[in-house]
Amino acid sequence: MLRLLDGPAADLVRRDATFEELDVDPARLLDGGAVVDLLLEHPALMQRPIGIRGGRAIIARPSELILDLLDG
């Protein structure tokens, strides 16, 4: 899925109160494998929804972005 995203893997991580409470080092988000590890450990940090179609994936926030994926 990471290879299908237009942006960096770090875009999958929500920067919310939980992110702040965990005191995540932003440098950790530069590595795709570290992002996956973080999200496996703390799934609530994952941006959602994620749309996947064909060879493309998008983070559909705002949800209207899913229309671009469905049109293409």
- Domain residue limits, the chain: 2-71
pTM for the structure as a whole? 0.84
CATH class belonging to 2-71? alpha beta
HEC secondary structure over 7-71: CCHHHHECCCHHHHHHCCCHHHHHCHHHHHHHHHHCHHHECCCEEEECCEEEECCCCCHHHHHHH
Q: What percent of the chain has pLDDT over 70?
A: 99
Cis peptide before 43 (omega within 30 of 0): no
pLDDT at 68 over 90: no
How confident is the model at residue 42, as a pLDDT? 96
Q: How large is the average pLDDT for residues 6-15?
A: 94
Report helix, strand or coil for 10.
Answer: helix
- Dump pLDDT digits (tens) for 31-56: 999 999 999 999 999 999 999 999 99
